[in-house]
């Protein structure tokens, strides 16, 4: 039976987490999941006979490349595939539990490691990805109140905005509700200007429009005041 403290599985899951994290920091470049395949395979190879090579390669590919293509499917047709995603997550949970309780020998051990690594990659991505931040904002009751029918990354770059001193990561998303396409930003704040038509505009022009709105609406000053009040509250609390 598989033991939870099995060193090989711990290393495999740890490697999965590390390479998924590096992939997020580099905006989900496919090279990092591919690198994870190689490392994961080498780590487990040391504890397996050569005949298991094909199984290891296939399993590690599922663990590392799987979340990448999973992401591509989700962000393109999220609203249409929500039920399928819930069902898939339930199936994965059952597989992890089954291999943990009933898996015996190399196959059960390998299956548990692969399913666990895949789940770690997907869960960590869904909790940290800027696209999910944009989708959560759009689904808020005061905005659209539901998830977009389609959404994809339009542009990503580091901009010295709004402070013009410290550069921050800004992601520009293009999304669709019914037949209407709009743009939203995740960066120093998460927002979308629904009343403006950005079709045919370059990323630079769209960023400039958001920066102008930010300054004109006094959002920056409001955020600064909120931060100052929170800092003062923490100083008073911890003295």
Q: Please tell me the predicted confidence (pLDDT) of residue 1.
A: 41
The reply to whether 96 and 206 lie within a common domain is no
> In terms of pLDDT, which residue wins out, 148 or 79?
148
Q: What is the 3-state secondary structure (H, E, C) of 182-229?
A: EEEEECCCEEECCCCCCCCCCHHHHHHHHHHHHHHCCHHHHHHHHHHH
- Rounded to an integer, what distance in angstroms lies between the CA atom of residue 71 and that of residue 30? 12
Q: Please tell me the predicted confidence (pLDDT) of residue 180.
A: 86
- Rounded to an integer, what distance in angstroms lies between the CA atom of residue 93 and that of residue 114? 12
CB 58 within 8 A of CB 75: no
The reply to whether 144 and 107 lie within a common domain is no
DSSP 146: S
Using CB atoms within 10 Å of the CB of residue 118, give its burial: 0 to 12 exposed, 13 to 18 middle, 19+ buried. buried
Q: Strand 168-177 relative to strand 180-186: parallel, antiparallel, unpaired?
A: antiparallel
- Rounded to an integer, what distance in angstroms lies between the CA atom of residue 68 and that of residue 61? 10
Q: Please tell me the predicted confidence (pLDDT) of residue 3.
A: 43
Tell me if 2 is assigned to some domain.
no
Tens-digit pLDDT profile for residues 81-126:
555 555 566 666 666 666 656 655 655 666 666 666 666 555 555 5
**Residue 199: pLDDT above 60?**
yes
Count of structural domains within the chain:
2
- Rounded to an integer, what distance in angstroms lies between the CA atom of residue 125 and that of residue 67? 8
The reply to whether 120 and 143 lie within a common domain is no
> In terms of pLDDT, which residue wins out, 189 or 68?
189
The reply to whether 142 and 176 lie within a common domain is yes
In this structure, how many other beta carbons lie within 10 angstroms of the beta carbon of residue 150?
15
Tell me if 65 is assigned to some domain.
yes
Domain that holds residue 143: 134-238
**Residue 185: pLDDT above 80?**
yes
Given 106, 128, 150, the domain boundary residue is 128
The reply to whether 11 and 124 lie within a common domain is yes
Q: Please tell me the predicted confidence (pLDDT) of residue 153.
A: 83
Q: What is the mean pLDDT of residues 206-227?
A: 68
Q: Which of 94-108, 150-164, 175-189 has the lowest mean pLDDT?
A: 94-108
Comparing C-alpha atoms, which of 95, 101, 84 is closest to residue 118?
95
Comparing C-alpha atoms, which of 8, 14, 7 is closest to residue 44?
8
Task: Give the predicted TM-score (pTM) of the model.
Answer: 0.48
Q: Please tell me the predicted confidence (pLDDT) of residue 14.
A: 57
Q: Please tell me the predicted confidence (pLDDT) of residue 144.
A: 85
Question: Residue 69, SS3?
Answer: helix
Tell me if 29 is assigned to some domain.
yes
Q: Please tell me the predicted confidence (pLDDT) of residue 192.
A: 85
């Amino acid at each position: 039976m598989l033991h939870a403290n099995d060193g090989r599985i711990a290393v495999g899951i740890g490697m999965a987490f590390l390479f998924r994290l590096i992939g997020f920091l580099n905006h989900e470049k496919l090279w990092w999941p591919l690198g994870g395949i190689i490392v994961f395979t080498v780590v487990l190879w040391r504890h397996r006979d050569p005949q298991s090579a094909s199984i290891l390669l296939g399993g590690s590919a599922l663990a590392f490349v799987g979340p990448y293509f999973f992401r591509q499917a989700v962000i393109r047709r999220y609203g249409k595939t929500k039920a399928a995603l819930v069902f898939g997550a339930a199936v994965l949970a059952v597989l992890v539990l089954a291999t943990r309780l009933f898996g015996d020998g190399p196959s059960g051990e390998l299956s548990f490691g692969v399913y666990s690594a895949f789940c770690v990659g997907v869960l960590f991505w869904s909790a940290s990805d800027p696209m999910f931040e944009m989708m959560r904002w759009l689904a808020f009751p005061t905005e659209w109140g539901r998830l977009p029918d389609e959404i994809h990354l339009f542009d990503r770059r580091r901009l010295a905005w709004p402070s013009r001193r410290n550069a921050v990561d800004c992601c520009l998303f293009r999304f669709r509700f019914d037949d209407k396409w709009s743009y939203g930003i995740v960066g120093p704040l998460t927002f979308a200007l629904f009343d403006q038509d950005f079709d045919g505009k370059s990323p630079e022009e769209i960023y400039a429009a958001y920066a102008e709105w930010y300054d004109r609406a006094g959002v920056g000053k409001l955020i600064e005041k909120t931060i100052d009040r929170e800092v003062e509250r923490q100083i008073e609390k911890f003295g």
